[in-house]
Structure 1
Amino acid sequence: MSQTDNPTSDAGLAPSHPHGPYTLAGPQARVDPRRVPLRGDLAHVGLVGTHFVPHYAVPQPRTVMPGGAPLLADARDGAEELCTLMEGDSFEVLDVAGKWAWGCLSLEGPVGYVRADRLEMLG
């Protein structure tokens, strides 16, 4: 039996690139935190394989409540407003801390913070 016929062999598991998908090749360009759902501690599960963080989150879809909601750059009242989410928009929640939900409209953004009380579970 050859190595490739042996299911316990590691021969078929070697990465195609000798250093793997994450190489220490120098500084990487920073992503725009308003367009890519990526923080230093957490990223959208859709970014697995392209960005390395300690945790990946599966988005929890929520609906923006009547009256809409501002999407903010930071988790605080008075932060810069990135856009206004419209009533009925689907928002992908990736993290909730206190009264704030962090997430995105889609994997392509925009990304920011919304007051959690302006979002409801999909029905």
Structure 2
Amino acid sequence: MKSSGISSATAPSPQGAHPPTPSRKSFALAGRSVTLDPQTHAVRPDLADVRLADRVFAPHYAAHVPHRLKSDAILRAAREPDSDELTQLGSGDLFELLDLLGDTAWGLAPAAGLVGYLPAAALEPVES
């Protein structure tokens, strides 16, 4: 195939030169993942909080999105409405949303130190 003769307006970079990259925390997984309590650490078989990536392997990771409760809500151990109640959260409490499952939210209530499920309708995004 013949070249069109059109090339990029930028000059080629010198051999071996790379643009500077920002430094980031590095870690290595060594051995098996640790077992974390799913009531206090945001980890499920399918998803984990990205802040736990240095301690546990998961198929997917999620970064939390800060929300506030716009009404009181019960934080539950499972998605089902009749599952065990972990704690009562009040209007204005912070909730770190990690996953939305239909009308149910999963994440961490940092003030209580608990992970669980609550109605998504009880949440509103934190404005920055």
State the TM bucket, normalised to the shorter chain.
0.7 to 0.9
| Secondary structure at the counterpart of residue 48 of structure 2 | strand
Structure 1 residue aligned with 2:29, among 17, 21, 24?
Answer: 21
- Supply the RMSD in Å over aligned alpha carbons: 2.1
1 CA distance for matches of 2:119 and 2:44? 18
Letter in 1 for 2:41: V
| Secondary structure at the counterpart of residue 117 of structure 1 | helix
1 CA distance for matches of 2:63 and 2:97? 9
Letter in 2 for 1:21: L
Using the TM superposition, give the Cα deviation of residue 59 of structure 1 relative to its aligned residue in structure 2, in angstroms.
0.3
Higher relative CO (Cα under 8 Å, sequence separation at least 6) belongs to 1
Say yes or no: does 1:51 pair with 2:59: no
Letter in 1 for 2:58: V
2 CA distance for matches of 1:111 and 1:87? 17
2 CA distance for matches of 1:50 and 1:7? 34
Using the TM superposition, give the Cα deviation of residue 39 of structure 1 relative to its aligned residue in structure 2, in angstroms.
0.6
Contact 1:37 1:109 in 2 (8 A): no
Using the TM superposition, give the Cα deviation of residue 30 of structure 1 relative to its aligned residue in structure 2, in angstroms.
3.4
Over the matched positions of the two proteins, sequence identity in percent amounts to 36
Question: Segments of 4+ in structure 1 off by > 3 A?
Answer: none
| Secondary structure at the counterpart of residue 41 of structure 2 | coil
| Secondary structure at the counterpart of residue 46 of structure 1 | helix
Partner residue in 2 for 1:64: 69
Structure 2 residues without counterparts, runs of 5 or longer? 1-15, 19-27
Structure 2 residue aligned with 1:109, among 108, 113, 116?
Answer: 113
Letter in 1 for 2:61: Y
- Which has more helix, going by share of residues? 1
Larger radius of gyration: 2
Per the normalisation by structure 2, the TM-score is 0.71
| Secondary structure at the counterpart of residue 34 of structure 1 | coil
